[in-house]
Amino acid sequence: MSRVSTGPALGATWAAPANIALVKYWGSRNPDAGLPLSPSLSMTLRHCVATCTVRPRAAAGVQVFQRRRRGQRAGHGGGAEVAVEVTFPVAAGLASSAAIFAAVTCAAIDAFDLELHDDALADLARAGGSGSAARSVAGGFVEWRPGTGDETELEVIAPASHWEVRDVIAIADPCPKRVSSREGHRRAFSSPYFDRRLALLDERIARVRDAIRRRDIDALGAVAEEEAVDLHLIAMSSRPPIRYWRPATVAILEEVEAMRHDGVSAWSTLDAGPNVHVLCEPGAEPEVARRLAGVPGVQRIIRDRVGEGPVASARTLL
Ligand code: PMV
């Protein structure tokens, strides 16, 4: 986190991105605290961002106490004013909560003039209950591991400059989903396939890491597709079941397969929602966007790409 503070009087404003999971976090050892049971790995986005201004109240005093192994953590008696702005659909499976919690965390840390290293920043971001927010405090390709107790581990595998992967997002339904991810994390344990999924994850993480190192979109995309199907298989086989897909979701998935049949290397993945992220390299992006826009039921296309993580902003929302 590079710091550009405007000082406590004006507060601080940060923009933080959403991320798309290549290996998914699904099933939590504490859903209210966003503590994962298994490792996940994502690509930080560039254009889908949340912006947050935090302004400490005048009388506020910050209490800083030592945290075991980890340096500082902030507690605060006086409160702050907080404003958030999001420019893409919220609660629709596009990781808006990850972007929001990452932006709030970065702005608060800056506004209260604190120093945190990446692991601790990630832990603060996910503590509000959106685990994937932990991965949005960093840019590029990011692995997030369960760690121990209430401390998780973050690793930037490669910066955004390593490989310019594009993410063309086809919106099948922009409305907020009926079942939250938090509830999905809780119900995952009731799926008879959940243990099997957990057993597959180390190998998938290794395949994604290798694909990123070699910049191999076909290898990366194959794992991303397996992971998306598995996440939704767990959701649909949970008790009671959770169905995030819409008819347009299926049509988009079929179009992505048809593109590959026609020689376009495009690969689909979904988080907990009906909207589909299609991963490809820059040369394929115009064709992918054009074909997705023509799928019946697609309401909007968002063209995004790998991004560099949170940035301070000179704007203020307050
Ligand atoms: O971050 P949460 O707690 O809202 O969980 C979301 C998890 C998925 O987006 C479905 C997958 C992931 O790893 O981001």
Measure the CA–CA gap between 161 and 285, rounded to whole angstroms: 18
Q: Confidence class of residue 309 from pLDDT cuts 50, 70 and 90? A: very high
User: Ligand 1 pocket test: which of 132, 152, 183 has the largest number of ligand atoms within 8 Å of its C-beta?
Assistant: 132
Looking at residue 1, what is its pLDDT? 55
34 CA to centre of ligand 1 in angstroms: 9
Q: pTM of the full predicted structure?
A: 0.92
Nearest Cα residue to 133 out of 114, 152, 115: 152
Looking at residue 57, what is its pLDDT? 86
163 CA to centre of ligand 1 in angstroms: 23
Residue-averaged pLDDT of the chain: 91
For 120-137, write each residue's pLDDT tens digit.
999 999 998 899 999 999
Looking at residue 224, what is its pLDDT? 98
Pull the structure tokens for residue 56. 């400490």
Mean pLDDT in residue range 79-88: 93
Return the exposure string of 184-200: e unless at least 16 CB atoms fall within 10 Å of the residue's CB, then b.
bbebbeebeebeebeee
Residues 6+ apart with CB under 8 A from 30: none
Q: Is the pLDDT of residue 5 over 70?
A: no
CB-CB contact of 227 with 269 (8 Å): yes
Q: Confidence class of residue 93 from pLDDT cuts 50, 70 and 90? A: confident
Q: Is the pLDDT of residue 4 over 50?
A: no
Mean pLDDT in residue range 9-35: 94
Nearest Cα residue to 212 out of 175, 165, 179: 165
Pocket of ligand 1 contains residue 40 by CB under 6 Å: yes
For 279-299, write each residue's pLDDT tens digit.
999 999 999 999 999 999 999
Q: Residue for token digits 């169905």? A: 243
Cis peptide before 89 (omega within 30 of 0): no
145 CA to centre of ligand 1 in angstroms: 14
Q: Is the pLDDT of residue 208 over 90?
A: yes
Looking at residue 76, what is its pLDDT? 52
CB-CB contact of 130 with 80 (8 Å): no
In one-letter notation, the amino acid at residue 27 is G
Pocket of ligand 1 contains residue 28 by CB under 6 Å: no
CB-CB contact of 154 with 118 (8 Å): yes
Pocket of ligand 1 contains residue 130 by CB under 6 Å: yes
Looking at residue 77, what is its pLDDT? 56
For 225-248, write each residue's pLDDT tens digit.
999 999 999 999 999 999 999 999
Q: Residue for token digits 């994937």? A: 132
φ and ψ at residue 294, rounded to 5 degrees: -90, 0
Which residue owns the Cα nearest ligand 1 atom 5?
A: 181
Q: Confidence class of residue 92 from pLDDT cuts 50, 70 and 90? A: confident
Q: Confidence class of residue 91 from pLDDT cuts 50, 70 and 90? A: confident
Mean pLDDT in residue range 95-111: 95
For 191-202, write each residue's pLDDT tens digit.
999 999 999 999
Which residue owns the Cα nearest ligand 1 atom 7?
A: 25
Strands 80-86 and 40-56: antiparallel
Pull the structure tokens for residue 260. 């590959």
Pocket of ligand 1 contains residue 181 by CB under 6 Å: yes
